[in-house]
Amino acid sequence: MFSKVLVANRGEIALRVMRACRDLGVRTVAVYSDADKHAGHVRYADEAYNVGPARAADSYLDHEAVIEAGRKAGADAVHPGYGFLAENAEFARKVEESELTWIGPSADAMERLGEKTKARALMQEADVPVVPGTTEPVESAEEVKQIAEEYGYPVAIKAEGGGGGRGLKVVRSEDEVEEQFETAQREGEAYFDNASVYVEKYLEAPRHVEVQILADEHGNVRHLGERDCSLQRRHQKVIEEAPSPALDADLRERIGEAARRGVREADYTNAGTVEFLVEDGEFYFMEVNTRIQVEHTATEEVTGIDVVKWQLRVAAGDELDFAQEDVEIDGHAIEYRINAEDAANDFAPATGSLETYDPPGGIGVRVDDAVRQGDEIGGDYDSMIAKLIVSAGDREECLARSERALSEFEIEGIQTIVPFHRLMLTDEAFRAGEHTTKYLDEELDRERIDQAVEKWGSADTVATADADGESDETDAEEVTEREFIVEVNGKRFEVNLEERGAPPMPEVEAISNGGGAGGQGAQATRSRPEEATSEDDEVVIEGEGEQVAAEMQGTILSVEVEEGEEVAAGDVVCVLEAMKMENDIVTERGGTVTQVLVEEGDSADMGDVLVVLE
Angstrom distances, CA of residue 46 to CA of 18, 185, 265, 446: 9, 46, 39, 45
Does 612 contact ligand MV4 by CB under 6 A?
A: no
Q: How far is the CB of 440 from ligand MV4 (least distance, A)?
A: 9
Phi (first) and psi of residue 506, to 5 degrees: -60, 140
Does 169 contact ligand MV4 by CB under 6 A?
A: no
Q: How far is the CB of 286 from ligand MV4 (least distance, A)?
A: 6
Angle ∠(226,167,228) on CA atoms, nearest 5: 15
Q: Which of residues 238-277 bind ligand MV4 (CB under 6 A)?
A: 277
Type of residue at 34: D
The residue (of 49 and 283) whose beta carbon lies closer to ligand MV4 is 283
Largest CA distance in the chain: 100
Residue ranges of alpha helices (H) inside 176-265 are 177-192, 249-265
Stretch that binds ligand MV4, among 162-170, 249-257, 399-407, 600-608 (CB under 6 A): 162-170
Single out the residue of 70, 83, 163, 360 in contact with ligand MV4 (rule: CB under 6 A): 163
Q: How far is the CB of 249 from ligand MV4 (least distance, A)?
A: 23
Does 202 contact ligand MV4 by CB under 6 A?
A: yes
Stretch that binds ligand MV4, among 43-51, 110-118, 160-168, 563-571 (CB under 6 A): 160-168
Q: How far is the CB of 282 from ligand MV4 (least distance, A)?
A: 12
Does 167 contact ligand MV4 by CB under 6 A?
A: no
The residue (of 281 and 519) whose beta carbon lies closer to ligand MV4 is 281
Q: Which of 416, 412, 392 is nearest to 403 (CA)?
A: 392
Q: Tell me whether strands 332-339 and 236-242 are parallel, antiparallel or unpaired.
A: antiparallel
Stretch that binds ligand MV4, among 156-164, 297-305, 452-460, 519-527 (CB under 6 A): 156-164
Does 128 contact ligand MV4 by CB under 6 A?
A: no
Three-class SS of residue 311? helix
Q: How far is the CB of 63 from ligand MV4 (least distance, A)?
A: 26
Q: How far is the CB of 136 from ligand MV4 (least distance, A)?
A: 16
Does 159 contact ligand MV4 by CB under 6 A?
A: no
Does 165 contact ligand MV4 by CB under 6 A?
A: yes
Q: Which of 303, 298, 335, 295 is nearest to 320 (CA)?
A: 303
In angstroms, rounded to a whole number, what is the distance separating the alpha carbons of residues 360 and 373? Answer: 14
Does 231 contact ligand MV4 by CB under 6 A?
A: no
Q: Are 158 and 184 in contact (CB under 8 A)?
A: yes
Stretch that binds ligand MV4, among 68-76, 164-172, 524-532, 582-590 (CB under 6 A): 164-172
CA torsion sign for 266, 271, 276, 278 is: positive
Does 368 contact ligand MV4 by CB under 6 A?
A: no
Q: How far is the CB of 443 from ligand MV4 (least distance, A)?
A: 12
Q: Are 110 and 89 in contact (CB under 8 A)?
A: yes
In angstroms, rounded to a whole number, what is the distance separating the alpha carbons of residues 460 and 435? Answer: 33
Angle ∠(370,56,82) on CA atoms, nearest 5: 55
Number of residues that bind ligand MV4 (CB under 6 A): 18
Note every long-range contact of 16-22, with CB atoms under 8 Å and residues 24 or more positions apart, other chains counting: 16/81, 16/297, 16/308, 16/368, 17/79, 17/81, 17/292, 17/308, 18/44, 18/45, 19/308, 20/306, 20/308, 20/309, 20/311, 20/312, 21/312
Q: Which of residues 402-441 bind ligand MV4 (CB under 6 A)?
A: 437
Q: Are 78 and 31 in contact (CB under 8 A)?
A: no
Does 156 contact ligand MV4 by CB under 6 A?
A: yes
Does 232 contact ligand MV4 by CB under 6 A?
A: yes
Q: Are 518 and 509 in contact (CB under 8 A)?
A: no
Does 206 contact ligand MV4 by CB under 6 A?
A: yes
The residue (of 339 and 391) whose beta carbon lies closer to ligand MV4 is 339
The residue (of 161 and 163) whose beta carbon lies closer to ligand MV4 is 163
Radius of gyration of the chain (CA): 31
Does 131 contact ligand MV4 by CB under 6 A?
A: yes
Q: Which of residues 274-313 bind ligand MV4 (CB under 6 A)?
A: 277, 286-287
Q: How far is the CB of 145 from ligand MV4 (least distance, A)?
A: 17
The residue (of 161 and 607) whose beta carbon lies closer to ligand MV4 is 161
Q: How far is the CB of 166 from ligand MV4 (least distance, A)?
A: 8
Does 168 contact ligand MV4 by CB under 6 A?
A: yes
Instruction: Specify the DSSP class assigned to residue 174.
Output: G
Q: Which of 481, 87, 426 is nearest to 289 (CA)?
A: 87
The residue (of 165 and 361) whose beta carbon lies closer to ligand MV4 is 165
The residue (of 194 and 587) whose beta carbon lies closer to ligand MV4 is 194
In angstroms, rounded to a whole number, what is the distance separating the alpha carbons of residues 295 and 301? Answer: 11
Interaction site with ligand MV4 (CB under 6 A): 131, 156, 163-165, 168, 200-203, 206, 208, 232, 235, 277, 286-287, 437
